[in-house]
């Protein structure tokens, strides 16, 4: 599949690049995509939720009524979860939600996500660019030139470019990442995937190992 290379002003350079079928042209594996997205979202969870149980709340420990003869269920503590103000029964406890996935499966998930974007014609290849200084207006002009003003877009850069990142971080729906930060969730959670020429070569090299 060939994609035309444009500059940051949206003008065609007259060149085109061939997207590797091994990365951008496979049959998507939906289950691999599901597992990788699930792991990404699970890893973002803090897992610090905690509810107090009966042993952790303040309250009297005396037996609140006699064992027999009341005609109701026996009760030994006011801190029981059946009473108002009592501890929560089987409440949440701090835990780690992360889980392991094999490298091969994660690579397959990323290839599947990239192939989905390629089939939808939602991948753009632009010339390498950088900013001399952080300037949000300059990045806004890039979005206008590429016709991405009101679209969710993900810019993939070969290395972390601090000036480009600072220029884009205040803009809604725009995100910039380097290759190490590219993941299945990020690829699918965007309308347009913008990849620089140098970055495209590295992606194809990394995802075909």
Residue 92 has pLDDT above 80, yes or no: yes
Stretch (H or E) spanning 17: strand 12-18
Rounded-to-integer distance, Cα 142 and Cα 34, Å = 33
pLDDT, position 209: 64
The 10 Å Cβ neighbour count of residue 95 is: 11
Residue 149 has pLDDT above 90, yes or no: no
**Residue 53 CB partners (closer than 8 Å, separation 6+):** 81, 87, 88, 89, 91
- Angstrom CA distances, 163 to 2, 89, 116, 144, 195, stand at 30, 51, 30, 19, 17
Rounded-to-integer distance, Cα 181 and Cα 22, Å = 21
CATH number at 2-45+98-206? 3.40.1370.10
The 10 Å Cβ neighbour count of residue 186 is: 18
Contact 139, 161 (CB under 8 A): no
- Which of the pair, 146 or 158, is modelled with greater confidence? 146
Query: Taking the chain, what is the end-to-end CA distance rounded to the nearest angstrom?
Result: 20
pTM of structure: 0.83
User: Domain limits of the chain?
Assistant: 2-45+98-206, 48-96
Residue 199 has pLDDT above 80, yes or no: yes
Render pLDDT for 181-198 as a digit per residue (tens, 0 to 9).
899 999 999 999 999 988
Identify the band that residue 39 occupies on the pLDDT scale cut at 50, 70 and 90. Answer: very high
């Amino acid at each position: 599949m060939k994609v035309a290379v444009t500059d940051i002003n949206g003008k065609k350079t007259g060149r085109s690049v061939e997207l590797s079928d091994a990365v951008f042209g496979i049959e998507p594996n939906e289950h691999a995509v599901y597992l990788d997205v699930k792991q990404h979202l699970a890893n973002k969870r803090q897992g610090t939720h905690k509810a107090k149980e009966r042993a952790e709340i303040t309250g009297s420990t005396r037996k609140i009524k006699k064992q027999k003869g009341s005609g109701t269920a026996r009760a030994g503590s006011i801190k029981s979860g059946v009473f108002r103000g009592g501890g929560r029964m089987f409440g949440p406890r701090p835990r780690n939600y992360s889980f392991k996935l094999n490298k091969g499966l994660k690579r397959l998930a990323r290839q599947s996500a990239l192939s989905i974007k390629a089939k939808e014609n939602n991948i753009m290849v632009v010339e390498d660019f950088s900013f001399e200084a952080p300037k949000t207006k300059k990045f806004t002009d890039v979005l206008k030139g590429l016709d991405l003003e009101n679209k969710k877009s993900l810019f993939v850069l070969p290395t972390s470019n601090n000036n480009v990142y600072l220029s884009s971080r205040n803009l809604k729906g725009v995100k910039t990442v380097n290759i190490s930060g590219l993941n299945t969730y990020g690829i699918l959670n965007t309308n347009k995937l913008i990849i620089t020429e140098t970055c495209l070569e590295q992606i194809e090299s990394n995802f075909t190992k």
